[in-house]
Chain A
Amino acid sequence: MELSEREVAEAAIKAGATNVDDIMQKMAEHKGCETTSDGGKKASCGTAAGENDLPPEIWDKVKNHPCYSEEAHHHYARMHVSVAPACNIQCNYCNRKYDCANESRPGVVSERLTPEQAAKKVLAVASTIPQMTVLGIAGPGDPLANPEKTFKTFELISRTAPDIKLCLSTNGLTLPDHVDTIARYNVDHVTITVNMVDPEVGAKIYPWIFYKHKRYTGIEAARILTERQMQGLEMLTERGILSKINSVMIPGINDQHLKEVNKAVKSRGAFLHNIMPLISSAEHGTVFGLTGQRGPTAQELKKLQDSCEGEMNMMRHCRQCRADAVGLLGEDRSAEFTTEKIMEMDVNYDLATRQAYQARVEEERLAVSGAKASELQVLAGVESDIKILVAVATKGSGRINEHFGHATEFQIYELSTAKGAHFIGHRRVDLYCQGGYGEEDALETVIRAIKDCHAVFVAKIGGCPKKDLSAAGIEAVDEFAHEFIEKSAITYFKRYLEGVAAGTITHVDRGDLVAEIRPGEKAVDVVAAAAVPAE
């Protein structure tokens, strides 16, 4: 049976390996036995996923960023700390009691840290998790409404850990005032939340802003906000700082308008646009929650992302993670690093071990993209209009390595002869398996979340759920256990197309089946990320 890195690390700790080196050694050994596949064929220059579309200097900046590079997020980790709860605007999807909905899941309170505590936490995590390469300062609140704390944290971290990339996210209102400081601290990624470029639309999203000692409301507020955001974006681009745009898709308010936002931000040099679904429910106590404003369905979201994709790179793997999430995207290890535990820790920042580990990860990544490149050849010459979706249960490393019953989310790939296996996003589900046996309701939740898929790829699955899935028209596939995702998906797709051609498979278009973004009324989001157990 395969163990996760974390299990290996935990086992190593139990076995008496108390220092980081020993743990790394164990982890490295474990990793070693996973990489014996045929994927090692060298990918020729320029064919690795994601590289094509971006200028080389930008690719260089994003390739190890787990939030931005689709491929890197399987291997590297980021963490967010929140030091600045203050905000200078009001969004209708935010209730300031909780986290900023811009970057995190509403309804979850993050731990608030002083800059000193935050810096120590980051170093402690980075010493334990060598994949941790990115630190972000995000909500609750706006990091630039609290610039002293934000920049103090950056200063402390960059002094001890110069290898960690720094990023921050902001609503943009005060961004133009801070661009030079951002450049000085070598912050290489800034995320701006842009929900509109038209003040009329903005007036429905922002009731007020606080700017230059005055409170502005309505269209005037939205006009100032959009001008400041666009000015800030232009200034970042001029200085060569990467900027990503987040937009919250609010059906009936800005859904169609986001195409214009996409054009506006692209023309000002943003390199990535991440459209996130509004997650709203009355118990969050937000204006949208209370007025019953709904969020988009998975299909509506995908349609909008598709229509913007020709324009620029869309980010599909953002899972609206909690701002203080620690670990690989979606794998939350926050509980290991509470402030209390950290203040007691003796942190010894070991740059060399981190670099050695990261070099190992690079090899694994090459293997993954090699497998992808070689398998794309399989489809060469086959042409078809058929597109299908498949769901994948994975713990990372680009492989199908999660048990169906343990999956808290599924990665969704679109298969076509034009693009091969194209990653389109995540669907989060409740833990289906609670202690070894399946539960009816939970299985239904999974089916609802992935019912537009033809198949679900898993490392393992029980007989009963397999039957139920099949009754819902979803084939459970475990023959590719522990194989690379893309390669397996393409093999499956090729067989599917051959079956259709031979008349043994009747193709059904499942695209119109509406998959849910949120199951039921509970505050558990299928697409949102927080990998904390549902409260």
Chain B
Amino acid sequence: MALRIAASCVNCSACEPECPNEAIYPTESAFAIDPAKCTECIGFHDDPQCALVCPVEETCVIDESYPRYQPAA
């Protein structure tokens, strides 16, 4: 139920303020997503905002280790 940030992150910080769930935070080397907070932007926007604003393709990607987010019915 979340996106994750790959090692290709260039630390530009563009994604951080765009997240409607404040799920993105800086770490020493790159930015990271808190999977407990990320809703894949469901309920807010049509597409994941972090992936749209990120300048490096394939950096904000679906985290396969989590089941896809299910919006509350």
Contact = CB atoms under 8 A, between A and B. Distances in A.
**Interface range on chain B (Cβ under 8 Å from partner):** 10 to 19
Given A85-B11, A86-B17, A96 B55 contact: yes
A96 B13 contact: no
A469 B71 CA distance: 75
A90 interface: yes
B47 A215 contact: yes
Given A86-B12, A141-B12, A210 B17 contact: no
Contact of A85 (B12, B45, B53): B12
A80 to B, nearest CB: 18
Interface in B11-70: 11-14, 16-18, 45-47, 49, 52-53, 55-56
B7 interface: no
A334 B38 CA distance: 40
A33 B49 CA distance: 61
Interface string A127-160: 0000000000000110001101000000000000
Given A146-B17, A215-B47, A96 B12 contact: yes
Nearest to A147: B17
A210 B12 contact: no
B14 A145 contact: yes
Contact of A214 (B10, B12, B16, B52): B52
A87 B17 contact: no
User: Could you say which interface size class chain A belongs to?
Assistant: 10 to 19
A87 B56 CA distance: 12
Interface string A198-215: 000000000000100111
Nearest to B16: A86
B13 A214 contact: no
Contacts of B46: 213-214
B13 A210 contact: no
A178 interface: no
Given A86-B17, A88-B14, A214-B46, A96 B52 contact: no
B14 to A, nearest CB: 4
A405 B7 CA distance: 45
B55 A214 contact: no
B55 A87 contact: yes
A86 B47 contact: no
Contact of B52 (A140, A145, A210): A210
A426 B18 CA distance: 41
A87 B45 CA distance: 20
Contacts of A88: 14, 53
A97 interface: yes
7 contacts: A86-B14, A86-B17, A88-B14, A96-B55, A210-B14, A210-B52, A213-B52
